[in-house]
Structures are given as C-alpha cells and as structure tokens.
Structure 1
Amino acid sequence: MLQRLRLSRLAGRVAASRCTPALVATVHGGKQRSTAPVPCASVSPAGQGCKSTAERRGSAPRRARTVPASALAAEAPEASNEPSTSAPSTIYTRPDLYELAFSYRDFKAEVKFLQEVYKQHNKHALSSVLELGCGPARHLAGLARGGVAKVVGLDLSPDMLGHARKSVAKQGGKAAEVVELVQGDMSDFDLPHKSFDMVMCLLGTFSHLLDTDQAISAFRSAAAHLRPGGILLLEMAHPGDLFDGTLIIGESGKEVWELPQENGDKVFVEWGAEFDNFDPVTQIIFRTVTINVLRGDDVIDSVEEVVPYRQYTVRELELLAKLAGLEQIALYGEMRMGVDLEHEDAYRMLALYRKP
C-alpha cells in the first residue's frame, strides 16, 4: 500500500505547496518533496551510549517552573536579530529566524484540527493542553484564542521561551492571559498539573530524542500528565520518507523553500545538504539546516547548524506508547480530518495515543 502511496503523494504535496508562499520543493527520482519541519529544541542532547536525563539526575524528575506569559512579559528578553551570547548561534538561539522560516504553516487550520481530532476521539471539547517543544508557541496562542482554558508550553531553549513570551504578550487577549510557558526537558519533566486532556509534540520535535531511554522517559512523563482518556499527539515525518530512501540518499532529502517578506526581503531555507549522514543503526540523520535572509542578492542575516534527529518507525512509537501504558488509536497523514497515511494528501504523520 505504501509503495502505491509514494506515487500518489505527489499530488497532495503539490496541493499543500499552494498555500506556502513561494515554496521551492526539490525533485528527486520524479517525486516532489514537501518541506520537512525543523524540530524545536526541547530536550538535552544525548547520543549513542549516552545516559538519559533521568539517569544523570537520578530517578526523581525535575520540577519545572510554570509562570503565565503575561506575568513574565516584562522580564522576557528583548527580541533581537543578534544571536544569544551564552552559546554558539543555532537555529534555536535565533527564534526570530526560526519563526520566519516556518511562518508558511496554516496555524489557524492546524489549531482547528487539534480541537476537532480531540473531540472525535473523546466526544467533548478540548479544555487543557500541554505542548512539548512549544517553540514560538503559535499553536498554543491559537488554542487559547479558541477557548481552551488551560494552555501550557514547555521548551528547553531560553531564547525560544523569551521570544514566545514577548509574542503572546504582544497579542494580548486570551493568548496573554492563558498561555503558560515553562523551561524544561521534555524527556524528564514534572509539572504541578497532571490531568491534561492532550499532550502534544509537533513539528517533528520528538525526533530530538536520540537515545531510546530518553524516548521511553518522555512517553512516561507525557502519560503521567494526562488524565484518564487523555491523548498524546505526535507530529512526525511520514514513514514512507525513510523506507523509500528519500531522506538518506544523496540530495534526495534536501528541502528548499523561500518566503517573501512585506519589506521586499526573502527568507531562503535549506533543510539538508548533499553530504548529510544517516546512521542506519541508531536511525539518526544529521541534517544541515541553513536559514538566510536576502535583500536583493545580498545575505543580510543567516544561521546554519547541523541538526541530529532520529527517525522513529510507527512500530517503535507504538512500543514506546505501550511501555508508558498508552494505546495507539489513530494515524493521520496531515493536519486534516479524514486524511490517513495512505491518502494522496498525506505528507507527514500525526500519531495519537490514549491513556486508558
């Protein structure tokens, strides 16, 4: 079925690109590639043979500090085009560029999907959400405006959190009143509230968990923060992108897109490079990510980083869920109801797991 799907997915990807400003998709082997989301920084790095965060700290998870975004607006770092001075510049210390690079996404439609998919599997409206690796918190702000009463975001990056706090405070209204932002590691966290309707991890952020122990711990931490009947939702790459070799052979996994800005500048994003490596044992792909801001032919701002992320299979995720006491209930191929993994419009994976 998936082999047939790989041919039909071209039409879906072209359709999806129509809502993407100036999307430039690479073509390999006759197949157009969709733009792959860059995961947010939300977990301490761990490579092959590294101990998980829980092992390094002992068995007790770290309790994160939760504060309403509106209350912290005054202490949030000022938005700046200058990278953080506390560490080498990365795509996560440049949340301004990160947000620009992925501004093509239809956040309003995606927020609607999150509410609809929860209601379909629970028969009542979504009232509380925790997002792991929340980044600029665009989905959380939309959920708050949509009437979700409790909205919490967790991220490891202080730069991302500072940017998100300023953004939601600027929006005002429900976004500023409701959204709470927490600095913490998604593989090992302990929040006061432990009865969320939904815990979600979007934009492929779960792939930052390179170590199996980290992944197990993250599932268990998420499960501990769900109410009975609550749902864990993960947005990941489509499984076909790994198994047909598209992600790992030469330039086949490279994504390129361009977003014109109102002032005439252009944001040009390259996700992947010709000599990026894939380790078939650890299933870790090392992707070169470059974001350039162009004014005419001149690059006026840029950031580049090699981002390691792990490609999880559907069965691995199902096993991780079972270890955490969760059950797989649905797999979608896009943030649209009725689009499964074999649909012609499928070009990502939304995996849903329920706590009994």
Structure 2
Amino acid sequence: MAEHCNLYDRAMYYDVIFKRDVSSEVKFVNDVYTKYHGGAISSVLDVACGPGYHARGFARDGVKSWGLDLRAEMLRYANDEAKKEGAAVSWIEADMRTFKLSAPVDVAFCMFDGLDCLLTNDNLVKHFQAVAANLTPKGLYIVDLSHPAEVSFSHYKKFHYHGQRDGISVDIHWATNDPKYDLATGIAHVALELHVDDNGKKIVVRDEADERLLFPQELSLLAAQSKSLEVVGWYGDFAINQPLDHSPKSRRMIGVFQKVG
C-alpha cells in the first residue's frame, strides 16, 4: 500500500488547503442510503479519513461516526478539530485492508481518491472484504475517485491547490513529474511539492508515491471476487440525479457498493 507520507504527516498544512464544506456530500450519502437501503443512517465509517471532514459532518448531525486512517498525525489533528466542533467521533488507526470495528456501521465511505493507494487486485479484494465485514446487513460502501476525464492511461492532469488562514499560506503542486500510468499495471509514480509560508517561515515538502488507476468494470469485478460486495450504482458527482457520464457536471467517479448475503 502506497501513500504520500511526507504530505499526510503535515495534517495542519493539508487542512489549510483542503478544508471545505462537505454538507452537500453528507446529503448525497444520505440520499444514496435512502435510495438503496431505506430508512435513516444510524452509523458511518470514514475510510482513509484524513482530517475526518465527513465523519465530523455526520457526527454534528448526531450520527454515530468512526474515522479510520493509517496516519497517527492525521487522527490527532482530526480529533482536535472534532473536539472544537463538539463532534463525537471514534478514531481508529488501522490498515484499511484488515481493520475491525467494535460494532458494524450502516454506511462506509472513502472520499477524495483514498482508494488509489491499493495497488494490487489482492489488496483491493481484502479491502472490500474488510469493509463488508464491518457493515450492517445490506449496508453501503461509497467510493469517490477521479473522473476518467481527469486521469487515464494517456493523461494525468496536473493540479494546483492554494489555501491560507491565520498567517499561513500553502500551495500544493500535484504530478510535478509528468507521471504516466504503466499500461500493464495501471500504476503511476506521482510526485508532488508542498510550499508553505507559515507566518514568514518557508517550508518546502517533496513527496512521491505510487497510485493506481481504477475503472468501474474493474471495481465491479473485484467487488464480485470479494464475494462480499456488489455494485449498485455509479454517479458523476455528489448529486443523486447526476449519472457518471461525459457531461461537464460529471466531475467525479463515485461508486456505490452494497453488502451481499
């Protein structure tokens, strides 16, 4: 399993860039649950949660929430932020392929390309099995990935994000090495640079990691191979009426999986 450790160990700078209002995404998860399961969500798991934006969002709505991540620094930061908001979240430092919660949840979700660090079919199958083992009957797993228009075997779109607050300015430049996906493995080696001005203190962080390109047919097959999940829907944004297609409004690739058996 590959990840950008140098970036994720700097949780506060990550948050300066990526913190956002996730209320529409929380609503989408609720809408998906209503459509494919029915009833109200009572518990959720935020997989590869980072600062735990979605876990905290559900917790603020009174839903029992878990946040899972491999990086202790991210979880410490997420916990501090949750306390400031009065959001009760249970945090677990664990591998997304082997984790075990104390009780199953109705919905799990993995946002913002958190799945692309699983580089082999075996790792993805193990992950699907671990998620399913921690879901209630007919529970859902929602996966948010880059739209194929942004990344493909012949194209990896570079991107730049900027954020600032409290005298801290942060810029991240992703894919600085012009990465290409290996045609046989679907894996690209991706470099990034983080430029920080922390109240006059200049910091540059460089990081590299492998990422896997994933497509709907591939994920559907691996879910079936896990004998624990099946795909029930694909969406192009956090909107229940937006299909995965080539339209400008289809900007993400969001898969909905349901526990079988």
**Amino acid across the alignment from 1:130:** L
Deviations 1:244-299 (A, max 9, x none): 7321xxxxx21113234354x53222111144343221111221122212479x77
Counterpart contact for 1:95–1:136, Cα < 8 Å: yes
Q: Which of 73, 77, 83 is the matching residue for 1:159?
A: 73
Corresponding residue for residue 101 of structure 2: 191
Corresponding residue for residue 13 of structure 2: 97
Deviations 1:46-65 (A, max 9, x none): 9xxxxxxxxxxxxxxxxxxx
Aligned residue for 2:127, secondary structure, equals helix
Pair 193,258 (structure 1): closer, same or farther in 2 beyond 3 Å = same
Residue 333 (structure 1) shift: 0.8
Residue 192 (structure 1) shift: 2.3
Residue 131 (structure 1) shift: 1.6
Q: Which of 205, 213, 229 is the matching residue for 1:326?
A: 229
Name the CA distance, whole Å, in 1 between partners of 2:201 and 2:193.
12
**Amino acid across the alignment from 1:311:** L
Name the CA distance, whole Å, in 1 between partners of 2:241 and 2:98.
34
Stretch moving more, 237-246 or 346-355:
237-246
**Amino acid across the alignment from 2:133:** A
Name the CA distance, whole Å, in 1 between partners of 2:80 and 2:54.
15
Counterparts of residues 158-237 of structure 1 (less than 5 Å): 158-172=72-86, 175=87, 178-194=88-104, 196-237=105-146
Corresponding pairs, count: 258
Percent of residue pairs bearing the same amino acid type? 30
Aligned residue for 1:207, secondary structure, equals coil
Counterparts of residues 41-52 of structure 1 (less than 5 Å): 44-45=1-2
**Amino acid across the alignment from 2:8:** Y
Residue 319 (structure 1) shift: 0.9
1:119 lines up with 2:34 in the alignment? yes
Aligned residue for 1:354, secondary structure, equals strand
Pair 185,146 (structure 1): closer, same or farther in 2 beyond 3 Å = same
Corresponding residue for residue 176 of structure 2: 273
Counterpart contact for 1:261–1:267, Cα < 8 Å: no
Pair 144,100 (structure 1): closer, same or farther in 2 beyond 3 Å = same
**Amino acid across the alignment from 2:244:** L
Q: Which is strand-richer, 1 or 2?
A: 2
Residue 214 (structure 1) shift: 0.9
Residue 116 (structure 1) shift: 2.0
Deviations 1:47-90 (A, max 9, x none): xxxxxxxxxxxxxxxxxxxxxxxxxxxxxxxxxxxxxxxxx970
Counterparts of residues 48-127 of structure 1 (less than 5 Å): 90-103=6-19, 105-127=20-42
Q: Normalization by structure 2: what TM-score?
A: 0.90
Q: Which of 304, 310, 313 is the matching residue for 2:212?
A: 310
Structure index of larger Rg? 1
Aligned residue for 1:285, secondary structure, equals strand
Q: Which of 186, 192, 203 is the matching residue for 1:289?
A: 192
Corresponding residue for residue 141 of structure 1: 56
Counterpart contact for 1:254–1:274, Cα < 8 Å: no
1:353 lines up with 2:257 in the alignment? yes
Residue 110 (structure 1) shift: 1.6
Pair 90,274 (structure 1): closer, same or farther in 2 beyond 3 Å = closer
Runs of 5+ consecutive residues of structure 1 not aligned to the other structure: 1-43, 47-87, 248-252
Stretch moving more, 214-223 or 184-193:
184-193
**Amino acid across the alignment from 2:99:** F
RMSD in angstroms over aligned alpha carbons? 2.2
